[in-house]
Amino acid sequence: MTTTIDSILHEHRLFVPPQAFAAAARIKSRAELAALQHQADQDHEAFWAGLAQQEITWQRPFQSILDSSRAPHYAWFKDGLLNVSYNCLDRHLPERGEKTAIVFEGEQGDVQRLTYAELHREVCRFANTLKRLGITSGDRVVIYLPMIPEAVIAMQACARIGAIHSVVFGGFSADSLRDRIEDAGARMLITADGGHRGGKIVELKAAADKALAKGCPSIESVLVYRRTGHEIAMQDGRDVWWHEAIAKATAQCPPEWVGSEHPLFLLYTSGSTGKPKGIQHSSGGYLLGAITTMKWVFDIRDDDLFWCTADVGWITGHTYVAYGPLAVGATLLMYEGAPTVPDAGRFWDICARHKVSIFYTAPTAIRALMKLGDAFPTAHDLSSLRLLGTVGEPINPEAWMWYHRVIGHERCPIVDTWWQTETGCHMLAPIPGAVATKPGSCTLPLPGIVADVVDEQGNSITMPDQGGHLVIKKPWPSMLRTIWGDDARYVSTYWGKFDGKYYLAGDSARRDADGYFWIMGRADDVIKVSGHRLGTMEIESALVAHPRVAEAAVVGRPHDIKGEAIFAYVVLRGSRPVGGVDEALTRELRDWVGEQIGAIAKPDDIRYADNLPKTRSGKIMRRLLRTLASGQAITQDTSTLENEGILLQLQGKA
């Protein structure tokens, strides 16, 4: 993303917290934040222990804070007993039973509200149903649902009985679903007949059937929620309708108390190999991260209406839809559909009608809506908004300014939050009442998070604006615990580079003269396409699985709405199409990748060549391919290319 990096290099605007916001905020000034930081610096463990005592209701208090004896396998509060669903629901009932927990809006305009008491009842009934179907603590349950309250109910019900959920994004294909079910060894799949998105039905049950037809021997039962009501196939003895299954379930379901380290969920995410990683999160530490960041970064209040637009299939939808807002007793909004149905004003219409006060979305959505013009937001009353947030990729200053001006009316602070599936919650982000923001910077580490930018040897880079590896130098409660079924990969991917001392995020970053962090992009083969994290190797594996493809290399190229677009270089078995053009084959390969991974992974461009550029040792010259894909002039040494003529093919000039 060179263009972004160039523009942020010239970004010097500073936006101090609006006085009215700061005065009412939990953390009101840089001085108050510094005091908190100081506490954390003085005694990292005591700082987190104090918060864990204060913010979590424990069934049995913890004695041990941080156990580093098996580093880099860290355990937080390990002898403490708790239940995450109890912390999200039961503990609010005395004071907030009648408070709205979830405001849901379907794409077709249907609105549903659930109070804390109602949500608690539904979670208990569903948890009892899971138990009746044989699910017990530690079992894996895969959830493949649209963005509807039942997704949260299913996740919370798993948490209630100690089952480990693994949510698979509804946009993933049958093959991706099958891989994830098999890797997790799940006993149950929870899905729906379909969901509404973009005016169409997303055929979830059909995809689930396809996944199960090809494998998944561990699946014993499939629970199916009726959302669309369209015709689907139900398999006798395996498939059960959600509404029939819960009909006789009671609303009494005592929570299963689990150890703080008990896995709460797995979430598969892309890395730099062809196989996605099942990131394993804990119960106590994860919950603590969700709560502290809801309070620090979102400054969440009892009367807020909090809307995070992320799908529950991603980490953002876990921490800031299914868990964080409920853990702090807030009201959250969930929207099922696309931002452009019936028109590009849908988000703003929802904000105005429901009086959303905190709005959290991805830069790609901001850019897409910005492109469609100011008339859409201007037509709606956005005066209920008080805080805006972004996540998922660097935000370009132009989009930041538009968000600030046209959506926030120059009144709402913007929190640019850097974090990852692996970190569980925000790591670098402004505290909105205390930290001045700069468009494009995620600003500073949160209290208790020891982040740095280091060189290849692991030394801190002290020179301002010099890029390096983003690392976290001390364990934090909501960190991932391992990769499911592949602990060696956990150790090598995240801890290998700096001898187990630092957590390697995989991003490159720089710090400016004020110590502000600027994320420069991934340092590995991961790309972010419309905020979706994808591995280039995964797409390559999908491509080479096609009978006509001999070799493939996939890179990201800058895209003004999606952030990055997928560019695939393909070498065919047999001859290259005449002039490099074969539209039918290109369509076929795009659809093929769609089937193997999901529509989000379809390459935007496919370019055919007789060979791929390789170094003498046989490594694909990815940097060169990135340069070519972005249409920039070549600065790399290309003398090792077997055939310079290939260059013209790769440039699309032959």
Residue selected from 393, 525, 538, 564 as contacting ligand 7RM according to rule CB under 6 A? 393
Residue selected from 418, 476, 490, 503 as contacting ligand 7RM according to rule CB under 6 A? 418
Closest separation in Å from C-beta 506 to ligand 7RM: 6
Report yes or no: 109 and 279 within 8 Å, Cβ to Cβ: no
Stretch that binds ligand 7RM, among 245-253, 380-388, 504-512, 569-577 (CB under 6 A): 504-512
Decide: is 391 part of the binding site for ligand 7RM (CB under 6 A): yes
Residue selected from 4, 83, 173, 420 as contacting ligand 7RM according to rule CB under 6 A? 420
Stretch that binds ligand 7RM, among 33-41, 163-171, 410-418, 563-571 (CB under 6 A): 410-418
**CA atoms lying within 13 Å on the CB side of residue 477:** 31
Residue selected from 345, 389, 394, 556 as contacting ligand 7RM according to rule CB under 6 A? 394
Distance between CA atoms of residues 537 and 486, nearest Å: 18
CB within 8 Å of 77: residues ≥ 6 apart? 49, 52, 62, 64, 65, 260, 284, 285, 477
**Edge-to-edge order in the sheet of strand 265-269:** 239-241, 221-225, 188-192, 140-144, 164-167, 265-269, 277-281, 482-483
Residue selected from 392, 408, 424, 468 as contacting ligand 7RM according to rule CB under 6 A? 392
The backbone torsions φ and ψ at residue 166, rounded to the nearest 5 degrees and listed phi first, read -135, 105
Number of residues in contact with ligand 7RM under rule CB under 6 A? 22
The beta-strand segments (E) located in 236-311 are: 239-241, 258-259, 265-269, 277-281, 305-308
Closest separation in Å from C-beta 570 to ligand 7RM: 26
Residue 221: strand, helix, or coil: strand
Q: Which residues does residue 511 pair with via DSSP β-bridges, in sequence order?
A: 517
Residue selected from 184, 207, 315, 543 as contacting ligand 7RM according to rule CB under 6 A? 315
Closest separation in Å from C-beta 163 to ligand 7RM: 23
Residue 621: strand, helix, or coil: coil
Tokens representing 25 are 């905020």
Decide: is 417 part of the binding site for ligand 7RM (CB under 6 A): yes
Beta-carbon count within 10 A of 594 CB: 16
Closest separation in Å from C-beta 545 to ligand 7RM: 24
- The whole-angstrom distance between residue 38's C-alpha and the CA centroid of its chain comes to 30
Closest separation in Å from C-beta 95 to ligand 7RM: 31
The backbone torsions φ and ψ at residue 215, rounded to the nearest 5 degrees and listed phi first, read 170, -135
Q: Please name which of 25, 24, 139, 157 lies closest in space to residue 83, comparing C-alpha atoms.
A: 157
Closest separation in Å from C-beta 444 to ligand 7RM: 13
Report yes or no: 329 and 96 within 8 Å, Cβ to Cβ: yes
Closest separation in Å from C-beta 531 to ligand 7RM: 7
Q: Which of the residues 507 through 536 are near ligand 7RM (CB under 6 A)?
A: 507, 519, 522, 528, 533
Q: Which residues does residue 266 pair with via DSSP β-bridges, in sequence order?
A: 166, 280
- Angle (CA) 501 507 508, round 5°: 95
Q: Which of the residues 529 through 588 are near ligand 7RM (CB under 6 A)?
A: 533
Question: Nearer Cβ to ligand 7RM, position 102 or 425?
Answer: 425
Closest separation in Å from C-beta 517 to ligand 7RM: 9
Residue selected from 282, 316, 541, 586 as contacting ligand 7RM according to rule CB under 6 A? 316
Distance between CA atoms of residues 233 and 227, nearest Å: 14
Q: What is the CA radius of gyration of the chain?
A: 24
Stretch that binds ligand 7RM, among 84-92, 411-419, 563-571, 636-644 (CB under 6 A): 411-419
Question: Nearer Cβ to ligand 7RM, position 48 or 503?
Answer: 503
Question: Nearer Cβ to ligand 7RM, position 190 or 505?
Answer: 505
Stretch that binds ligand 7RM, among 95-103, 419-427, 450-458, 606-614 (CB under 6 A): 419-427
Question: Nearer Cβ to ligand 7RM, position 121 or 489?
Answer: 489
Report yes or no: 417 and 390 within 8 Å, Cβ to Cβ: yes
Tokens 């390990």 map to which residue? 78
Burial classification of residue 394, based on how many CB atoms lie within 10 Å of its CB (0-12 exposed, 13-18 middle, 19 or more buried): buried
Beta-carbon count within 10 A of 611 CB: 17
Beta-carbon count within 10 A of 465 CB: 11
Stretch that binds ligand 7RM, among 244-252, 287-295, 505-513, 632-640 (CB under 6 A): 505-513
Stretch that binds ligand 7RM, among 87-95, 158-166, 309-317, 430-438 (CB under 6 A): 309-317
Burial 311-337, CB ≥16 within 10 A → b, else e:
bbbbbbbbbbbbbbbbbbbbbbbbbbb
Closest separation in Å from C-beta 646 to ligand 7RM: 31
Distance between CA atoms of residues 176 and 358, nearest Å: 33
Decide: is 267 part of the binding site for ligand 7RM (CB under 6 A): no
Decide: is 437 part of the binding site for ligand 7RM (CB under 6 A): no
Residue selected from 176, 421, 482, 530 as contacting ligand 7RM according to rule CB under 6 A? 421
Question: Nearer Cβ to ligand 7RM, position 325 or 392?
Answer: 392
Distance between CA atoms of residues 278 and 263, nearest Å: 12
Residue selected from 183, 416, 452, 564 as contacting ligand 7RM according to rule CB under 6 A? 416
Question: Nearer Cβ to ligand 7RM, position 122 or 564?
Answer: 564
Question: Nearer Cβ to ligand 7RM, position 82 or 470?
Answer: 470
Decide: is 278 part of the binding site for ligand 7RM (CB under 6 A): no
Closest separation in Å from C-beta 308 to ligand 7RM: 11
Report yes or no: 539 and 593 within 8 Å, Cβ to Cβ: yes
Stretch that binds ligand 7RM, among 131-139, 152-160, 414-422, 636-644 (CB under 6 A): 414-422
Stretch that binds ligand 7RM, among 413-421, 448-456, 596-604, 624-632 (CB under 6 A): 413-421
Residue 396: strand, helix, or coil: coil
Please report, as ranges, the residues that interact with ligand 7RM according to CB under 6 A. Answer: 269, 314-316, 391-394, 416-421, 442, 505-507, 519, 522, 528, 533
